[in-house]
Amino acid sequence: MKLLTDAQRSELAANGERSAAGEEIDPCPVVKLFTPDAGATWLLTELDPSDPDRAFGLCDLGLGFPELGYVSLVELAAVRGRFGLPVERDLHFTADRPLSDYADAARRRGRIVT
């Protein structure tokens, strides 16, 4: 399975362009990625226009300290969990609030809650 659909990649790129142009944005996450066997989750909102491998979002490695930051899509594609399963895209995820709301809730709970 591809980590991102073409539509998601386009939406992430558009958000990245807006952010790079200096616009203050707080978009809803475009995609949720997760490890089915390792407890990690990523809610991504944008791609860096100068490096489309670099995605920004809320990252939770399952250690109790979710944080906002950048992640490499190539590196995510190479990640394997305890049983060798790759990172997957949550096919049923639909964001219902901006990323800042997910980040606030994740900091309070110590993990991303969707």
Per-domain residue ranges for the chain? Answer: 6-109
pLDDT computed for residue 33 by the predictor: 98
| pTM above threshold 0.85 | yes
The string of pLDDT tens digits covering residues 47-62 is 999 999 999 999 999 9
Q: Give phi and psi for 17, each to the nearest 5.
A: -65, -45
Bridging pattern class, strands 88-89 and 31-34:
antiparallel
